[in-house]
Structure 1
Amino acid sequence: MKQFIWFLFICIYTISNVLTKEDILSEKIQQLTDWSLKKPIIRLNNERFKHYVKTSPRNYSMIIMLTALSPQRQCSICKQAHDEFQIVAQSYRYSSAFTNKVFFGMVDFDDGSDVFQYLKLNSAPVFIHFPPRMKPKKSDFMDISRWGFSAEQLAKWIHDRADVQIHIFRPPNYSGFLLIVLLVTMIGGLLYIKRNSLEFLYNQVVWGMFVVLAILICISGQIWNSIRGSPFLHRNPQTGQIGLFSGSSGYQFIAETYVDFIFLNYFFFLHFGVCAGMILLNEAPKLTGQTGKRKAMMAVLGILMVVFFFSFLLSVFRAKYQGYPYSFLIK
């Protein structure tokens, strides 16, 4: 009889415990859904993070951005990252993919310093995916130094981690269109004023300078910045130290691009030396009216220029990108 009573007690306790967990889970999902319907990004503090993210039961994923938006923290990159995160959350909220299986949250350092300590973070911004019923793994931390934090890259990372397809909808930006219209108007006005003397259009020097300028702009990293949406610089929210150069070889800041552009003439000189050596090698056999000795000297000079400048160029890459495996003569 005692065994039956104990068995009955254990069954009742187990059933009540399961029902209690289901009630808690339903309350969590309902509250998170209500918050998401009001604002796509749920603002979390220490208590909310512990209850809705850290503590079980939880059968939903949380995409959390940890940031420091306060002006006192002087994190300029955090504001740009928050804007991109907002675009992703809004695109998800107003799309057909919106469910109660994935929620977007944000923890500001001033509201949730304990969360930063719990996750052992000392920098911001950081994007973390908290999968259902388990703690985040290393792959659930987005590597923004490699991929950046544009809305498109965030959506791709979320799809890989939470299996949710988000189509990004950006608010219309007419500044680029207006700039193109202004540029076309200026060029059209210039051609109209000079309609009786358009010889400058056939000037090779003008077109050569235009082409060289376009090449310098492209190789300076400006195109990369416009695609990835790089921040101008990075300020550590803990120490306040300003960083002009990214610590990763696969990422850069706009300020770093400007610094590289200042020293671009140096790299351009190295490339020019290699090209000049190739030209000498190519033109040496074609010289007419020259002795074989003079042709040989020209070819040797071309080889020496190619070897020296190319070796020096590889050494520059080894100095900038630690672990660059290639070198020749000059280490």
Structure 2
Amino acid sequence: MILKVLSKEDVLSEKVRQLTDLSLQRPLIRLNSERFKYYVTSQPRNYSVFVMLTALAPERKCGICQDAHNEYELVARSYRYSNAFSKSVFFAMVDFDEASDIFQSLKLNSAPVFIHFPPKMSPKKSDYMDIHRREFSAEQVAKWVHEISDIRIQLIRPPNYTQFLPIVLIITAIFLLFYIKRETPKIVYSPIIWGIITVGLVCYYISGQTWNRINKPPFTSQRKTDMGLFADDSNMQYVAETYIVRKHTISIDISSNNSWL
């Protein structure tokens, strides 16, 4: 019986081929302990792997893990279908319940954690993404990836039509006022109308809409177990949460200024 011994070049070529096939099937490669050691930490390796280590099981009570996973998956999917896709960079994830020994070997006691594993060496401190400083939105993850690998990822985020709802409501309210009053000049110079518009703008910015436009968070929590309206982390908020805050602020303004009405 003759055993064929593969050269390092053959092993590397096979690893790259398998990772490429996995990426084509599913942009975010799911790794267990065996796969992680083979593809990410063992040599030979001439490619980079961005890995998110997380804990998605509900019993782990990681409030932000599912949201971080969705944002990270958006980056991986956008990369997969972009012109930047190559055989030199791959995106993967490790779940605690499928590879707890990996967390122990990396001395991790929290999740989620984003790590860049460069080719031919172990990750340094600069290869860890600081989610407390950057947050974990897809935009911030893509920016971090670009800083490390020079790969610019154009995010393909599904359109969020709910962001146009406030504009539609404001326009509708203005048309209703014009229709009811039918006295345009008086309305234009009315301090009450301008007061309402001013309060509306103030409530718009207080509620966090500017943050939403910059970071583009999801409308609600994307967890499969529940549809949360309020984020569990101080560095995150949902669009629905800002609507609730805005409505609450407007209610307070109206109740404290009954003389307007």
Fold similarity call, TM over 0.5: yes
Paired AA for residue 207 in structure 1: W
Q: Which residue number corresponds to residue 168 of structure 2? A: 181
- State the secondary structure of the residue aligned to 1:76: coil
- State the secondary structure of the residue aligned to 1:127: strand
Paired AA for residue 158 in structure 1: V
Question: 1:125 deviation in Å?
Answer: 1.3
Q: Which residue number corresponds to residue 156 of structure 1? A: 143
Q: Say if 1:230 and 1:253, in contact at 8 Å, map to a contact too.
A: yes
Residue 66 (structure 2) pairs with residue 79 (structure 1): yes
Instruction: From 35, 46, 54, give the equivalent of 2:41.
Output: 54
Question: 1:224 deviation in Å?
Answer: 2.3
- State the secondary structure of the residue aligned to 2:202: helix
Q: CA RMSD in A?
A: 3.2
In structure 1, distance between residues paired with 2:91 and 2:41: 15
Question: 1:216 deviation in Å?
Answer: 5.3
More off after superposition, 35-44 vs 178-187: 178-187
Structure 1 outlier segments of 4+, above 6 Å = 230-233
- Percent sequence identity is 56
Q: Which residue number corresponds to residue 135 of structure 1? A: 122
In structure 2, distance between residues paired with 1:122 and 1:213: 44
Instruction: From 106, 110, 117, give the equivalent of 2:104.
Output: 117
Cα distance change on mapping 1:229 and 1:81 into 2, 3 Å: farther
More off after superposition, 187-196 vs 150-159: 187-196
Cα distance change on mapping 1:178 and 1:211 into 2, 3 Å: closer
Instruction: From 84, 93, 113, give the equivalent of 1:126.
Output: 113
Residue 157 (structure 2) pairs with residue 170 (structure 1): yes
Q: Which residue number corresponds to residue 193 of structure 1? A: 180
How far does the alpha carbon of each residue in 1:108-147 deviate from its partner, in whole angstroms, 9 at most, with x for none? Answer: 1111111111111111111111111111111111111111
Q: Which structure has more helix as a fraction of its residues?
A: 1
In structure 2, distance between residues paired with 1:220 and 1:141: 32
- State the secondary structure of the residue aligned to 2:37: helix
Cα distance change on mapping 1:252 and 1:215 into 2, 3 Å: same
In structure 1, distance between residues paired with 2:21 and 2:77: 15
Structure 1: any 5+ residue segments left out of the alignment? 1-15, 234-242, 266-331
Q: Say if 1:148 and 1:228, in contact at 8 Å, map to a contact too.
A: no
Cα distance change on mapping 1:146 and 1:59 into 2, 3 Å: same
Instruction: From 106, 117, 130, give the equivalent of 2:93.
Output: 106
Q: Say if 2:178 and 2:184, in contact at 8 Å, map to a contact too.
A: no
Q: Say if 2:135 and 2:236, in contact at 8 Å, map to a contact too.
A: no
Structure 2: any 5+ residue segments left out of the alignment? 222-230, 253-261
Q: Which residue number corresponds to residue 145 of structure 1? A: 132
Question: 1:180 deviation in Å?
Answer: 3.0
Question: 1:21 deviation in Å?
Answer: 1.5
Q: Say if 2:45 and 2:120, in contact at 8 Å, map to a contact too.
A: yes
How far does the alpha carbon of each residue in 1:50-106 deviate from its partner, in whole angstroms, 9 at most, with x for none? Answer: 111011111100011111112222323112111111111111111111111000101
How far does the alpha carbon of each residue in 1:288-313 deviate from its partner, in whole angstroms, 9 at most, with x for none? Answer: xxxxxxxxxxxxxxxxxxxxxxxxxx
- State the secondary structure of the residue aligned to 1:105: strand
| Count, aligned residues | 233
In structure 2, distance between residues paired with 1:158 and 1:132: 15
Residue 7 (structure 2) pairs with residue 20 (structure 1): yes
Q: TM-score, normalised by structure 1?
A: 0.61
